[in-house]
Amino acid sequence: MTPQDFDYLRKLLRERSGLVLSAEKQYLAESRLLPVARRHGMSTLVGLVGMLKAGPSSPLAAEVVEAMTTNETFFFRDKVPFDHFRDTVMPALIAARAREKRIRIWCAAASTGQEPYSLAMTLKAMGSALAGYRVDILATDLSSSVLTRAKDGIYSQFEVQRGLPIQMLVKHFAQIGEHWQIAPEIRAMVQFRSLNLLNDFTPLGIFDVVFCRNVLIYFDQPTKTDVLNRLAHRMPDDGYLLLGAAETVVGLTDSLKPVMEKRGLYAPNPARRMAPAEFGNVLTFAAKA
């Protein structure tokens, strides 16, 4: 692959997904995209890039983006955010929503479903504390292939051993051969939908809790700021945002602020929250996605 071809791929990936691929990551592109090229009858990436240039809006472009997207996840990943959700976020929201008795949760980078299903199992364990409440979980991801897996809720032995307590495996999963499928009542608690965070997500509505973990790390600073500002406008003043361990709002936006002594937990900052007109529409390149 020529440097020019790699530059074209880097530009396409940034425009379509926000993924910033550094110049020294050509080996990564080659390892992930060669299988895509071979599926389309090509032995090198030169032909693949040629096809992309000929049809930049073709399904092939989406296939390339999906191949380059990292979908690493596991049940109750990093544990701390789920402790915050159970011990801080949900008790506060249950008290605050005593009248309307509805809570909306958004997992903005759901991958193969372990995160939203972890939240669903946590809610199930809260039992009578949620009596009379309607709790909606929306799970979105850029990749349609991982969402298909997530909807099925079928995981390998290796996947269920990563972070899932044995008592939850026994209680909420059924064994199917060498795999495990999450129970229908847990699957029914989660709605899955394809979404690119670079695009306008205003139509999704307002969410009391947003999990947007381990996705901002792949964006450049302007894209991080843009996404965070728009997320802040999808939450009420008493809402919560949870980011990954390597992510923060500090230095990126004043629309959100850290919750003291709760690592990875953030809240809207009403006094500093920007009006939509101030940060404009979705980043200009997102319109091409």
| Confidence at residue 127, expressed as pLDDT on a 0 to 100 scale | 93
Average confidence (pLDDT) over 215-219: 88
Q: What are the residue ranges of helices labelled H in 126-247?
A: 144-152, 157-161, 166-172, 184-187, 221-232
Q: Which positions ≥6 away from 285 have C-beta within 8 Å?
A: 14, 15, 198
Report pLDDT for 124: 96
Domain that holds residue 56: 3-68
284 has a pLDDT exceeding 70:
no
53/165 same-domain check: no
**3-state DSSP assignment of residue 122:** helix
* Residue 3 pLDDT grade (very low, low, confident, very high; cuts 50, 70, 90): confident
Mean pLDDT for 164-186 is 95
CA angle 231, 100, 227 (to 5 degrees): 5
Question: Quick check: helix, strand or coil at residue 210?
Answer: strand
Q: Is the pLDDT of residue 281 over 70?
A: no
Q: Give whole-number Cα distances, 128 to 79, 94, 136, in Å.
A: 23, 12, 17
C-beta separation of 133 from 94 below 8 A = yes
Phi, psi of 104 (to 5 degrees): -115, 130
Residue 61, pLDDT > 70, answer yes
Of 19, 67, 62, nearest in space to 223 by CA = 19
Domain identity same for 159 and 84: yes
In a domain, 236, yes or no: yes
Quick one: 23 and 127 in the same domain?
Answer: no
Confidence of residue 16 (pLDDT cuts 50, 70, 90): confident
Q: Is residue 157 part of a domain?
A: yes
pTM attached to this predicted model? 0.82
Please check whether residue 107 is in contact with residue 75, taking contact to mean a CB–CB distance below 8 angstroms: no
pLDDT score of 286: 39
**Nearest one of 182, 93, 107 to 138, comparing CA atoms:** 107
pLDDT exceeds cutoff 90 at 57 = no
List, as own/partner pairs, every contact residues 31-37 make where C-beta atoms lie below 8 angstroms and the sequence separation is at least 24, other chains included. Answer: 32/67, 32/68, 33/9, 33/64, 33/67, 33/68, 35/67, 36/60, 36/63, 36/64, 36/67
Residues 55 and 87 in one domain: no
Domain boundary among 41, 68, 95: 68
10 and 125 belong to one structural domain: no
* Per-residue pLDDT reduced to its tens digit, 126-140: 999 999 999 999 999
In a domain, residue 289? The reply is: no
Sorting pLDDT into bands at 50, 70 and 90, what band is 206? Answer: very high
- Asked if 195 and 217 sit in the same domain, the reply is yes
How would residue 52 be classed by pLDDT, with cut points 50, 70 and 90? Answer: confident
Q: How confident is the model at residue 56 (pLDDT cuts 50, 70, 90)?
A: low
Tell me whether residue 32 is one of the annotated catalytic residues. Answer: yes
Residue 246's identity, in one-letter code, is A
Q: 32, 86, 149, 162: which one is catalytic?
A: 32
Predicted confidence at residue 274, as pLDDT, reads 61
CATH for 274: 3.40.50.150
Within-domain flag for 74: no
At 289 the pLDDT is 35
The band of 285, judged by pLDDT with boundaries at 50, 70 and 90, is very low
Total domain count, the chain: 2
User: Which tops the pLDDT comparison, 61 or 160?
Assistant: 160
Q: Is position 138 within any domain?
A: yes
**Residue 24: CATH number of its domain:** 1.10.155.10
Pair (40, 156) in one structural domain = no
Token pair of 33, please?
């995209």
d(CA 267, CA 174) in angstroms, rounded, equals: 37
Asked if residue 95 belongs to a domain, the reply is yes
Give the position of tokens 């843009």.
226
Distance CA 246, CA 251 (A): 14
Check pLDDT > 70 for residue 287. no
Q: Are residues 177 and 257 in the same domain?
A: yes
- Domain's final residue, options 29, 48, 68: 68
**Which of 176-190, 231-245, 248-262, 273-287 is least confident?**
273-287
Percentage of the chain surpassing pLDDT 90?
Answer: 62
Domain boundary among 47, 68, 89: 68
User: Of the listed 5, 141, 208, 226, which one is catalytic?
Assistant: 141
Half-sphere exposure of 105 (CA within 13 A, CB side): 26
Chain-centroid distance of CA 122 in Å reads: 18
Instruction: Specify if 285 maps to a domain.
Output: no
Is 141 one of the annotated active-site residues of the chain? yes
